[in-house]
Amino acid sequence: QCTEPQKLFNIANELLHTEEAYVKRLHLLDQVFCTKLSEAGISSEVITGIFSNISSIYCFHGQFLLPELKTRITQEWSVNPRLGDILQKLAPFLKMYGEYVKNFDRAMDIVNTCMQRSSPFKDVVQNIQKQEVCGNLTLQHHMLEPVQRIPRYELLLKDYLKKLPEESPDRKDAEKSLELISTAANHSNAAIRKMEKMHKLLEVYERLGGEEDIVNPANELIKEGHIQKLSAKNGTAQDRYLFLFNSMVLYCVPKLRLIGQKFSVREKMDIAGLQVQEIAKQNVAHTFSITGRKRSLELQARTEEEKREWIHVIQATIEKHKQNSETFRAFNSSFSQEEEHLPDSSIGSTSSVESMPGADGGGALGGNDSSRKSSKSKRDKEKQACKSCSESFNSITKRRHHCKQCGAVICAKCSEFKPLADNSRHNRVCKECFLQLPASPCSPGVEAVGEQKKRLAAEKQSLLAAENSLFSSYLQFLEKGKTWYKMWVTIPKTEPLVLYLQGSSQDGRSPRAIPLPGYEVSLPGSGEKFEVKHVFKLCQSHQTLYFSAEDEELQVKWMEILTKAAKGETEDTAEGLSNP
């Protein structure tokens, strides 16, 4: 039986050992996979798309968190048995994990695509995966490690707090750490569930010999299993296998193999239009049928319970698919009605009016069918891209909206909100109408809404305000291309190891957060020429960020404070420095 102090030490020791193993995994991702792919000539866009900010995560854990844990647990534990104060230092770096987790789905897609289409990429990855350091695991498996790490911190902290005495000086820090880490763990757990679903699909894809392209985020494997198919000719039972997905059933034939069962797809049946029912056959028990648009199958389960389960699961899948389809159709119908109504509006845009049948002066009724088709085609084409920025729409990152004043089709970035005369709500309008429309002070609630927006904006900016920062100023910023942007750059007192960049109020974007540990701060190389003066840069792995200060004094101040923060030094960081 361990004493309570011994139990606490065991948890701390487990944290240290798992952290050491985790840092080795991060080294594998950043210094082996990432480096070897770069040396093979894989583009930096692809590498960044896959590995995101893994360099920042590796630097923080390898250079800061692991050494602190090691010192505390192996050298100081007898006089200072605490974990909460160290884990609280994780808080500013949870933003790094947020960025990695957010990019995770896209990273998986890029890896899968490159493995199929790029021989150099596939060769590098497969050669590394054969090495002992990989432990017979794939790149995708190792990429999941950072996503899984935050939930593991959460579990260890919960266990630690259960055994920590109420009066312990570490309780307050440990509770605060758990609160911060739990929030980040929720995002990681969602990504883990998605990854597990994708792993299942990949396994089935391999078992089908790559015959069916089922690896899609929209697909979900619901049930699989052996089944007997009754021959229509003589009633004999034949060994078959079913894969039930949320959108289809794959009816398969087992292949003869000595190692690892594989299947050949005999029939693909859509869930839409599928029917399942129990059937009674003489001298044959546990039978049911599934009927699709092209084929009907009579099947036999091994037991009555297994038959009932198949019928229940298939029926539930059919019902859920119907509900989703009806919801989608209803949404599509209302969306189409709104679109078709807008061009006919008395305040329609010029482009909408021109594309209407009969707009050439001949009258709507005078136009023939072909003119209606061509005008509809033109109108549909105009709806595929934003009127202001001309970028194409898509259902995820570039949603389509309508200006409630002129009817133009616009994206969210090219729109503003303003109350119109006929209602008190804030309506989405294009930027042209926003500038032309007068304010409507008589509209009820407008002033309150305005005050609320001002208050929220003030709260958002308070973190970046000069009085709340260790150091801040305007700097010119360059990441890619040749265009410099004026940014408000600050290191908040509450997050002394994070650099925030805020653009002008017009662009409406949230501040960008850059965790600094692991970055190198230096002057540009001899081959780097810029039109602006007083340039310095932040470099890490494959990323380089350039900044330009107004004068040499400001340049030196920024380089000094960034160098300290990049080394993880928070004490006296701003000593002798004052905000300009």
Average pLDDT of the segment spanning 532-542? 85
Average pLDDT of the segment spanning 155-164? 92
The C-alpha atoms of residue 361 and residue 371 are separated, in whole angstroms, by 13
Query: Is pLDDT of 567 > 80?
Result: no
Query: Is pLDDT of 351 > 60?
Result: no
Which of 225, 229, 224, 204 lies closest to 214 in space, CA to CA? Answer: 204
Average pLDDT of the segment spanning 118-133? 93
Same fold: 4-208 with 221-322: no
Residue 269, H or E segment: strand 263-270
Other C-beta atoms lying within 10 Å of the C-beta of residue 453: 12
Q: Pull the structure tokens for residue 475.
A: 């700097």
Q: Confirm if 87 and 19 have CB atoms less than 8 A apart.
A: no
**pLDDT at site 502:** 83
Residue scoring higher pLDDT (526 or 569): 526
Mean pLDDT (the chain) is 78
Q: Confirm if 248 and 271 have CB atoms less than 8 A apart.
A: yes
496-506 per-position pLDDT tens digit: 878 888 876 55
Tell me the range of 21-25, 190-194, 257-261 where mean pLDDT is highest.
Answer: 21-25
Average pLDDT of the segment spanning 23-32? 94
- Considering only the top CATH level, what class is 221-322? mainly beta
Query: Is pLDDT of 345 > 50?
Result: no
Residue scoring higher pLDDT (394 or 490): 490
Query: Is pLDDT of 77 > 70?
Result: yes
Long-range interactions of 35-41: CB distance < 8 A, separation 24+: 36/124, 36/128, 37/121, 37/124, 37/125, 38/542, 40/120, 40/121, 40/123, 40/124, 41/120
The C-alpha atoms of residue 257 and residue 234 are separated, in whole angstroms, by 27
**pLDDT at site 223:** 93
The C-alpha atoms of residue 191 and residue 196 are separated, in whole angstroms, by 9
**pLDDT at site 536:** 94
Percentage with pLDDT > 70 across the chain: 73
Average pLDDT of the segment spanning 385-395? 68
439-481 per-position pLDDT tens digit: 443 333 444 445 544 544 554 455 556 677 888 889 999 887 7
Residue scoring higher pLDDT (53 or 312): 312
Angstrom distances, CA of residue 123 to CA of 36, 42, 127, 265? 11, 12, 6, 29
Which of 374, 419, 411, 405 lies closest to 390 in space, CA to CA? Answer: 411
Query: Is pLDDT of 350 > 80?
Result: no
**pLDDT at site 180:** 81
Q: What DSSP string describes 132-149?
A: GGGTT--HHHHHTHHHHH
187-236 per-position pLDDT tens digit: 666 666 776 777 788 888 888 887 677 877 678 899 999 999 988 777 78
Which of 394, 390, 416, 389 lies closest to 405 in space, CA to CA? Answer: 416
**pLDDT at site 400:** 74
Radius of gyration of the chain (CA): 31
**pLDDT at site 423:** 46
**pLDDT at site 136:** 84
**pLDDT at site 332:** 59
Confidence class for position 507, pLDDT limits 50, 70, 90:
low
Confidence class for position 30, pLDDT limits 50, 70, 90:
very high
Residue scoring higher pLDDT (530 or 91): 530
**pLDDT at site 120:** 93
> Which of 28-32, 514-518, 540-544 bottoms out in mean pLDDT, i.e. has the lowest?
540-544
Q: Pull the structure tokens for residue 402.
A: 């309508």
Domain boundaries, the chain: 4-208, 221-322, 386-433, 462-572
**pLDDT at site 204:** 87
**pLDDT at site 219:** 83
Average pLDDT of the segment spanning 328-332? 64
> Superfamily for 4-208?
Dbl homology (DH) domain (1.20.900.10)
The C-alpha atoms of residue 510 and residue 503 are separated, in whole angstroms, by 8
418-433 per-position pLDDT tens digit: 555 444 455 677 766 7
What is residue 391's DSSP assignment?
Answer: P
Which CATH code fits 462-572?
2.30.29.30
**pLDDT at site 126:** 93
**pLDDT at site 364:** 38
Q: Confirm if 325 and 333 have CB atoms less than 8 A apart.
A: no
Q: Confirm if 96 and 55 have CB atoms less than 8 A apart.
A: no
Cα-based angle 183, 29, 66 (whole degrees, multiple of 5) = 60
Which of 478, 487, 488, 474 lies closest to 535 in space, CA to CA? Answer: 478
Residue scoring higher pLDDT (406 or 307): 307
Angstrom distances, CA of residue 505 to CA of 22, 235, 297, 500? 41, 75, 63, 15
Confidence class for position 343, pLDDT limits 50, 70, 90:
very low
Name 284's bridge partners. Answer: 281
Percentage with pLDDT > 90 across the chain: 31
Q: Walk across the sheet containing 248-254 and list its strands.
A: 263-270, 248-254, 237-245, 221-230, 296-300, 287-291, 275-278
The C-alpha atoms of residue 430 and residue 342 are separated, in whole angstroms, by 14
